[in-house]
Amino acid sequence: MSNRYAHPEVLVDTSWTEDHLKDPNVRIAEVDYDPKANYHLGHIPGSVLFDWKKDINDPLNRNIISKESCEELLKKSGINEDTTLILYGDFNNWFAAFAFWVFKYYGYEDVKIMNGGRKKWLEEDRSIDKTIPTYSTGHFKASSPDEKIRTYLNHVSESLKNRQSILVDVRSPAEFTGEVTAPAEYPTEHAQRGGHIPAAINIPWGKAVNEDGTFKSAEDLNKLYNENGVRPEKEVISYCRIGERSSHTWFVLKYLLGYPDVKNYDGSWTEWGNMIGNPIEK
């Protein structure tokens, strides 16, 4: 079994990032759930802020940003089609992985995640800055959505009858069993019903990372998912509560392990657990 990631090019380490702080062809972006507690207290020098709630999600609909909004966000950050974009963030890169998924959905080729995220950068005592940088407007052009990496309620419902589909619930065991209806980080944000989608396999996202927030080796990751019956020859659908933790697992399966058919169900439990009549297991 190979101990090399299927797509090692999607990861950079903190040293590489520090070495490219002034590279005009590289843009670094911090993706935060709460910028006040993170980005605004100090960030990687030269990095722009992508506020997960305001910038990556539609302001009105329960949806991600549109193609046009994605294009505008990247252009105002000085990003061109040939710019290498490095994402990092809080919560061990939950929201950086979500942004990575959204940008891939709209055709961004050269986007990477900084392994270990904000946590590792700070633990290594690397330089931070409170200056908000400004850049000349870029000319990035988004593509039509890649629906092969996203799935919706109806398809998930149909997948329950399909033995070629595997559902991976990446939430905590307590959320999976319905003991709690929201994660500890967001105790007030919950669905009407607890539990999980029938036949889903519970593999918490955190099992894929080391203590310092970096991703585990390919060998360890392969072992983790294979031992739980998650196989590359099947369609794999990851879900959590709102799609951010599941995008982290989507990234691991698709890019680090090279599974050919992995979809993120970003409607996740806040959609499934609130829908009248949806089947639920505990």
Residues catalogued as catalytic:
240
Yes or no: say if 105 and 142 are a contact pair by the CB < 8 Å rule.
no
Give the distance, in angstroms, between the CA of residue 91 and the centroid of all CA atoms in the same chain. Answer: 11
List own/partner pairs for 256-261 with CB under 8 A and 24 or more apart.
Answer: 256/5, 256/6, 256/7, 256/10, 256/11, 256/215, 256/218, 256/221, 257/5, 257/6, 257/218, 257/221, 257/222, 257/225, 257/232, 258/6, 258/7, 258/232, 259/232, 260/232, 261/148, 261/234, 261/235, 261/236
Please report the beta strands in 6-81, taking only residues with DSSP state E, as ranges in sequence order.
11-12, 26-32, 48-51
User: What is the DSSP code (8-state) at residue 66?
Assistant: P
DSSP state letters, 80-127? -TTPEEEEEESGGGHHHHHHHHHHHHTT--SEEEETTHHHHHHHTT--
